[in-house]
Amino acid sequence: MVIACLGWGSLIWDPRELPVQGRWFEDGPMLPVEFGRQSSDGRLTLVLVPTTPLIRSLWAPFSVDTIAAAREALRKREGVLKQNLEKHIAVWQASDQHDSSPAGISTWARSLHIDAVVWTALPPRFSGEENRVPTADDAVAYLRQLSHEQRRHAERYVRMAPRQVDTPYRRRFQLDLGWTPIDAL
């Protein structure tokens, strides 16, 4: 069974104990990803935001052989509470009768003969409001007001995101903050 892990942010350059095989491939499905989640440490992290332009995600095969093990490994890596596994660690399986995954995952996976796909499905969050997506202006203003240490972490996250994750907000961060991409791999 081939189980793929999708990524677009820190999973790529900081997988930690995530059991993926080898390198990340740059030909994942097109997904609506943006810097839309304010994390507890001040960073704006990349999440799926259905109203944003599509970008090419990355993927790697898991080295575990069950979907349950893949989801649990991603849950641990992402720091998702066990009770939120079903809500925040998503899965698509070739055997699914009713596909509720983001458009493109099923077609992409089937074209590569992938049996299952697992990804992080944390919602956007800004100013303490779940499902609130900041505007680009809000995001830039927020990042500018961070303390030195928080700003350093936020900048590292933005700059180390894979170059192909070229979102509208990232372009604004480059223009307004000078946060150009750096190659992490």
What CATH number is associated with residue 162?
A: 3.10.490
Cα distance between residue 75 and residue 84, in whole Å: 9
pLDDT attached to residue 102: 78
The answer to the question of residue 184 being in a domain is: no
The answer to the question of residue 185 being in a domain is: no
What DSSP string describes 88-107? HEEEEETT-SS--SPTTHHH
The answer to the question of residue 167 being in a domain is: yes
Q: What one-letter code names the amino acid at 62?
A: F
- Alpha carbon separation from 58 to 39, 103, 106, 162, 180 (Å, rounded): 22, 16, 15, 9, 20
pLDDT attached to residue 99: 67
Q: Look up the pTM and report it.
A: 0.94
The answer to the question of residue 131 being in a domain is: yes
pLDDT tens digits, 47-94:
999 999 999 999 999 999 999 999 999 999 999 999 999 999 999 999
Regions of the chain with pLDDT less than 70: 97-99, 184-185
**In sequence order, which residues have a C-beta less than 8 Å from that of residue 157 and are 6 or more positions away?**
9, 10, 43, 44, 45
